[in-house]
Structure 1
Amino acid sequence: MTQDPYFFGYGSLVNRRTHDYARARPARAQGWRRLWRHIAGRDTAILTAIPAPGTQIEGLIAAVPGADWAALDLREAFYDRLPATDAVRHDLAPGPQVAIYSIPATKHPAAPAPAAILLSYLDVVVQGYRDEFGEAGVARFFDTTDGWDAPILNDRAAPLYPRAQSLTAAETALVDHHLTRLGAHPA
């Protein structure tokens, strides 16, 4: 029997409420960092992972049953699916093939100005990191992500992100605390 391949999620895929990939587990991608990418024709920034020697990011790996990538590739349509087996550290033995989704700078034209980061999207990501890695993991998420100088669109009252989740008051306060710490302010 062939082992299913896995993906490494580092944004909304860390929040298990946003997907049905049951066999998810914590992992780290060495030599990667997150970045808010701004693409021409989009009103909102997209979180991507970029190669960054000497850096690592936490996330989840999850099996893609039967190597049926169609639904995940559709969800991640702006990205390239890249091999990352050698970079991802996890507790599985034997280790599966692992892919990471990334948007190379050359894949789409750059936006003329920074696009907004959706607060409803960021809330989902932070909720996932808090569930998986605790508040220290949330701090590491913010510290290993670049691009916090982009505008933050406060769409909490009417979420624009299609997989938005309800947050507790403590989760909302945690997001707001780290945005303030980094000098980012929702509008």
Structure 2
Amino acid sequence: MSDPFFFGYGSLVNRRTHDYPEAHPARVTGWRRAWRKSARFDRCLLSAVPATEDYIDGLIAAVPGADWAALDEREGGYARHDASAAVRHPVERPLDIAIYAVDLERFPVPGDDDPVLLSYLDVVVQGFHTEFGRAGVDHFFETTENWHVPVLDDRAAPIYPRHQSLIEEETALVDEGLARVGARIVGL
């Protein structure tokens, strides 16, 4: 039996944040990305939310030996959902594919007290740029819900535990994307 896969649509798109070697660009239909409030972290989490007419580009990666423990710990606020039938991918065999998403009742639409970490957003955009180029970054910003929340500028002292160094072009892509969606940047 082959290993199961996960579908990543946020930081898991950035291969620098994990060590799952069998990874491929993919697309899931019937889902959309949205920032959701997390009481556990006092900030926003990026989640997939059901959306019949939408899709998310991302990355699928094999979970060797179906050992979900480390990934489930990393994605602690999320539940795994079967997305096998909804994912288009280049692998030429049927795959079992899970997508992580939060419970929308426990993780409501965020407000002004639930910022997005810029260090997290940097990681996400870096991953989309690497996998999908400028068009992928633009699509990420255009199709993610709830940009009304503040973005906490923690670049100088990153809070996100898997933060990455960005090159100047990547930093510019993040900053341009935030400007396009009218994001409000706040300091630490």
1:72 maps onto 2:42 in alignment: no
Instruction: Report the count of equivalent residues.
Output: 186
Structure 1, 84-93 or 116-125: larger mean CA deviation: 84-93
Counterpart of 1:24? 23
After TM superposition, give the deviation of residue 141 of structure 1 in Å.
0.7
More displaced stretch, 87-96 vs 146-155: 87-96
**2:144 maps to which residue?**
145
Query: Any conservation in 1 of the 2:30–2:86 contact (CA below 8 Å)?
Result: yes
SS of the aligned residue for 1:179 comes to helix
Distance in structure 2 (CA, Å) of the matches to 1:155 and 1:126? 15
Match in the other structure for 2:179: 180
Report the identity percentage: 58
Q: TM-score, normalised by structure 1?
A: 0.95
3-state SS in 2 of match to 1:82: strand
Offset, 1:44: 1.3
CA contact (8 A) 1:38 1:114 kept: no
Q: How does 1:124-135 map to 2 (within 5 A)?
A: 124-135=123-134
Aligned equivalents of 1:29, 1:41: Cα separation in 2: 27
Amino acid at match of 2:165: S
Q: 1:62 to 1:41 in 2, by over 3 A?
A: closer
Residue 114 of structure 1 and its aligned partner are, at CA, apart by 4.4
How much is the aligned-residue C-alpha RMSD, in angstroms? 1.4
* Alignment-derived partner of residue 34 in structure 1: 33
- The alpha-carbon deviation at position 22 of structure 1 amounts to 0.3
The answer to whether the 8 A contact 2:149-2:184 is kept is: no
Aligned-partner Cα distance in 1 for 2:149–2:108: 17
Task: Give the Cα separation in 2 of the matches to 1:113 and 1:185.
Answer: 10
Residue 40 of structure 1: CA displacement?
2.8
Q: 1:30 to 1:114 in 2, by over 3 A?
A: farther
Measure how far apart 1:93 and its partner are.
1.8
Q: How far apart, CA to CA, are the structure 1 residues paired with 2:135 and 2:72?
A: 30
* 1:34 to 1:143, Cα distance in 2 relative to 1, 3 A: same
- Greater strand share, structure number: 2
Structure 2: gaps spanning 5 or more residues: none
- 1:3 is matched with 2
Alpha-carbon offset, residue 95 of structure 1: 1.7
* 1:19–1:55 CA distance, 2 compared to 1 (3 A): same
Deviations 1:89-121 (A, max 9, x none): 101121210000000212457767540000000
CA distance in structure 2 between the partners assigned to 1:156 and 1:61 by the alignment: 28
How far apart in 1 are the matches of 2:29 and 2:111?
A: 31
Helix, strand or coil for the counterpart of 2:184?
coil
Residues 153 and 85 of structure 1, relative CA distance in 2, 3 Å threshold: same
| Residue 94 (structure 2) aligns with | 95
Mapped partners of 1:17, 1:47: distance in 2: 18
- Structure 1 unmatched runs, 5+: none
